[in-house]
């Protein structure tokens, strides 16, 4: 029996890189970055998908900087809104399943409990609006296609918020983080493992949420990373994260949802077990970095 062929778009990013590595175990993987498939030219990208004839398409490509989306609206509309629909139609044409990665920014942030998969989207920003447009296009292209919303992604293939907090702490510099914005961190390696549940043709399509369990602020997230590092013997110097308000950060252009934690009931039902709690995912990430010698000691 031949191995399934998985095509990953946006494979140079944090999540795409993790998926490319994980999917290589038990599948034939084609990993494309912008050079191979630029979603700014969606018809060309869709044509490339048809020629590749994969069994599964995982689209991680997007303009994910919410502030850039506000200033480059036409480009964001093309990459985040139009391209996913054309890619999903191309996938349908060759009998492939499309798994489209989306975002918690499709929600308005007015909730007080984690958003369920069937909660009504009402994005605040152009980024959220274009990502929602992409979701709708993908779902309309075939009932087997899946939209997977993630949030606050961190992982080993590209520095992120957690890495920056640790770097400041190691140098003894102040570490500050927003303490009035709530969500759920998402460990890229946990996403890669859980997405396997969507590979079989028998897995239902539709909307899924995929993030680590629990709710925190950015300050909580950074504090957990520093506490984990200290427990593992990493020589962090700054031990307390100073709280900031979202309004204290003047460079932000796009509106952000204040509360965007998500319930992952659908994917957990498919997996048959709960996803990992976010503090334990952070612990695992810091341990991975330590073992890789990222802090100067193995």
Q: Can you give the pLDDT of all 298 residues of the chain as single tens digits?
A: 577 899 999 998 889 999 998 888 888 999 999 999 999 999 999 999 999 999 999 999 999 999 999 999 999 999 999 999 999 999 999 999 999 999 999 999 999 999 999 999 999 999 999 999 999 999 999 999 999 999 999 998 778 889 999 999 999 999 999 999 999 999 999 999 999 999 998 999 999 999 999 999 999 999 999 999 999 999 999 999 999 998 888 777 888 999 999 999 999 999 999 999 999 999 999 999 998 888 764 4
Q: Within a domain: residue 37?
A: yes
The count of structural domains within the chain is 1
Q: Within a domain: residue 46?
A: yes
Q: Within a domain: residue 164?
A: no
Q: Within a domain: residue 11?
A: yes
Q: Bridge partners of 216?
A: 183
pLDDT at 298: 40
Q: Within a domain: residue 40?
A: yes
Strands 216-217 and 182-183: antiparallel
Q: Within a domain: residue 171?
A: no
Q: Within a domain: residue 148?
A: yes
pLDDT at 296: 63
Alpha carbons 180 and 260: distance in angstroms, whole number? 12
How many whole angstroms from its chain centre is CA 174?
Answer: 28
Residues tagged active-site: 127
| Global pTM value | 0.94
Residue 98 belongs to domain spanning: 5-158+185-212+261-276
Of all residues in the chain, the percent with pLDDT exceeding 70 is 99
3-state SS, 68-81, equals HHHHCHHHHHHHHH
Give me the CATH number covering residue 43: 3.40.50.720
Q: Within a domain: residue 19?
A: yes
């Amino acid at each position: 029996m031949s191995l399934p062929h998985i095509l990953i778009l946006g494979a140079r990013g944090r999540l795409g890189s993790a998926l490319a590595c994980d999917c290589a175990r038990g599948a034939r993987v084609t990993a494309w970055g912008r050079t191979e498939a630029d979603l700014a030219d969606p018809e060309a990208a869709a044509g490339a998908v048809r020629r590749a004839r994969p069994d599964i398409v995982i689209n991680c490509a997007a303009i994910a900087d919410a502030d850039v989306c506000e200033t480059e609206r036409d480009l964001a509309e093309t990459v985040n809104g139009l391209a996913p629909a054309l890619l999903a139609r191309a996938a349908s044409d060759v009998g492939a399943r499309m798994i489209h990665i989306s975002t918690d920014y499709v929600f308005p942030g007015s909730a007080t409990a984690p958003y369920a998969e069937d909660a009504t989207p009402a994005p605040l920003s152009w980024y959220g609006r274009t990502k929602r447009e992409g979701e709708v296009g993908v779902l309309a292209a075939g009932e087997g296609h899946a939209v997977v919303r993630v949030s606050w992604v961190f992982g080993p293939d590209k520095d992120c918020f957690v890495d920056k907090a640790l770097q400041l702490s190691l140098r003894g510099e102040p570490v500050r983080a927003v303490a009035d914005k709530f969500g759920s961190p998402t460990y890229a390696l946990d996403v890669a493992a859980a997405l396997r549940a969507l590979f079989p043709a028998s897995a239902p399509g539709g909307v899924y949420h995929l993030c680590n369990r629990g709710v925190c602020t950015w300050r909580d997230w950074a504090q957990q990373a520093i506490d984990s590092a200290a427990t593992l013997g990493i020589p962090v110097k700054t031990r307390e994260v100073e709280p900031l308000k979202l309004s204290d950060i003047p460079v932000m252009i796009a509106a952000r949802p204040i509360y965007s934690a998500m319930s992952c009931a659908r994917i957990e039902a498919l997996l048959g077990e709960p996803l990992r709690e976010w503090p334990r995912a952070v612990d695992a990430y810091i341990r991975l970095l330590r073992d890789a010698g990222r802090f100067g000691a193995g």
